[in-house]
Structure 1
Amino acid sequence: MYRHAGISLTDAKKQLVAGRLAKRLRHLNLSSYGDYFRRLQADGGEMQTAVDLLTTNETYFFREPKHFDFLRDGILPGLKSKGPVRVWSGACSSGEEPYTLAMVMAEVLGGRPWGIVASDLSSRVLATARQGRYPIEDAAGIPRPLLRKYCLKGVGSQEGTFMIKPELRGRIEFRQVNLNASLPDLGVFDLIFLRNVMIYFDIETKRQVVRRILPLLRPGGHFVVSHSENLNGVSDALKAVRPSVYCKPEA
């Protein structure tokens, strides 16, 4: 798992691993974790299933709202790039983060061209993200004006759910990306969100991931991690502008 996804599963994670894989073992009629380990060695598809089961995907709309306040008031109004504004949500989970970004960008940028790339290692959560449909209780964190403007309430067979409007979903390209491997051609970005993923990496893996990502950030662009993270000892190529928000110096 460390080699495939950069996730450090120490002895302290033994109960977590056992609990999340137990149902899978029963599904495959395997009698031991040793049998499952041998299955993983022989079946690359099963490795993806294991990654899906072992990665934590807790997220919600407007999580850590100060980041979106700063995006709205401090980053987007000052962008000077002539082309489309591009943002990468590098650990998008089930889509709440990129859809939140999209709502803020739509409000601030108006008719200016913009787009979002949203990526994750887990194919399971990406399938949910692409649909853009969520339980109605998940709408609690979305400001009411934005909810009315960018979301559709489910009726009939979809009662109890809401969906992100197609015009917003169409602005987001969802990609499966392993941050611990060579990155595909994603282009360059004005802003990169990489929140709540490096907490699962050891220090050397963090350094390699950031080193891999930084060429994709425009000079003057911003790099955002979660409030529980920082880049101390990880990279000195970025300048802190406020807690958990960094800027790449101009060329």
Structure 2
Amino acid sequence: MASLPSLPVLGEQHFRQLQQLMRDASGIHLASNKRSLVAGRLLKRLRHFELDSYDDYLSRLTHPQYARERRLVVDLLTTNETYFFREYAHFEFLGQWLSGRGGPLRLWSAACSSGEEPYSLAMTAAEHTRGNEWSVLGSDLSQSMLGIAEQGIYDMAQARYFPEGWLHRHCLCGVDDMAGRLRVQAWLRNKVQFREINVVQPLPDKLGQFDVIFLRNLLIYFDSAQKQHIVRNLADKLRPGGLLFIGHAESIHGFNLPLRPVRPSVFERL
């Protein structure tokens, strides 16, 4: 029996190069225990270029004509798993907070990935606010994820946590060649704007102020100093009394910020 071909090995030196690439491009630090995950995600790119080693692949990334490939590396190495109404208790509390409020209201999903979170914010605002004077911003550093978000088309499996009745009020369910898929309704898509923003970098001058900011499941990628820098910048974009939501597995304890806890992983701007 013929032996199977051996897989390329991502050595320590090449992993350090990728750590530096990610740090320069996004500010994200790849922990040393992520080496096997990184190797697995980039193996498909080696196969795409018909390369035998990570050394050959990393050599390509140093050339100016491979700028798009370097960006793709950042996309591949950033976890983008998400779904509608993830960590549902946050949306339940947000709905209570928004109930009866009039506009104008601005909500921001600051690490929106493929768009399920900002659309979940939009549906919550549509269900609970008084009037229609609200808007949602979804931002991410991944252009490919933002492209998916702008289309607003998802597998029906993503709808498993929708509150009762919301799917049919806010989405169209596909038929024929679109069977098994959904699309966020046009009027709701029009209430959501998407922008490429890296929250590690200085925020755009004309970003404005927000009533609600979701910054969930992103801080886990950064060290303590970076976390404090990011949260302070976003807190500056919150109106007094506005809410900041972070992931349940994240903490900003001891950061000396103008925020007070109101629920687990929910903070109010002082």
Equivalent position of 1:118 in the other structure: 138
Aligned to 2:67: 44
Tell me, in whole angstroms, the C-alpha distance in 1 between the residues paired with 2:29 and 2:154: 30
Residue from 145, 149, 155 that aligns with 2:165:
145
Q: CA deviation at 1:32?
A: 2.3
Pair 1:77 & 2:80 matched: no
> 1:233 maps to which residue?
254
Does the 8 Å contact 1:4/1:180 carry over to 2? no
User: For residues 183 and 106 of structure 1, do their structure 2 counterparts lie closer, same or farther at Cα, with a shift above 3 Å needed?
Assistant: same
- Once the two structures are TM-superposed, the CA of residue 138 in structure 1 deviates from its matched residue by 1.7
CA distance in 2 between partners of 1:123 and 1:233 (Å): 34
Shift of 1:12: 0.9
My pick for the range that moved more, 3-12 or 240-249, is: 3-12
Task: Give, in angstroms, the shift of residue 35 of structure 1.
Answer: 2.7
Residue in structure 1 matching 2:78, options 52, 55, 58 = 55
* Paired position in structure 1 for 2:216: 195
Taking the TM superposition and a 5 Å limit, the aligned residue runs for 1:188-227 are 188-227=209-248
Unaligned runs of 5+ in 1: none
Whole-Å separation in 2 of the counterparts to 1:52 and 1:28: 18
Secondary structure, aligned partner of 1:186 = coil
3-state SS, counterpart of residue 141 of structure 1: coil
Partner of 1:178, secondary structure, is coil
The secondary structure found in structure 1 opposite 2:251 is coil
| Residues 115-148 of structure 1: per-residue CA shift (max 9 Å, x gap) | 0000111112111111111112221111231111
Paired residue for 1:165? 185
User: What do the CA deviations read for 1:186-239 (whole angstroms, capped 9, x no partner)?
Assistant: 211001000011111111111121122222111111110011112113343211
Distance 1:233 1:34, change over 3 A: farther
- Distance, in Å, in 1 between the alignment partners of 2:101 and 2:67 is 42
Secondary structure of the structure 1 residue equivalent to 2:193: strand
Question: Which residue pairs with 2:7 in the alignment?
Answer: none
Matched with 1:13 is 34
Deviations 1:4-26 (A, max 9, x none): 21221122111011100011122
Q: Larger relative contact order (C-alpha < 8 A, sep ≥ 6)?
A: 1
TM-score of the aligned structures, taking structure 2 as reference length = 0.86
How many pairs align?
246
Structure 2 alignment gaps of length 5 or more: 1-21
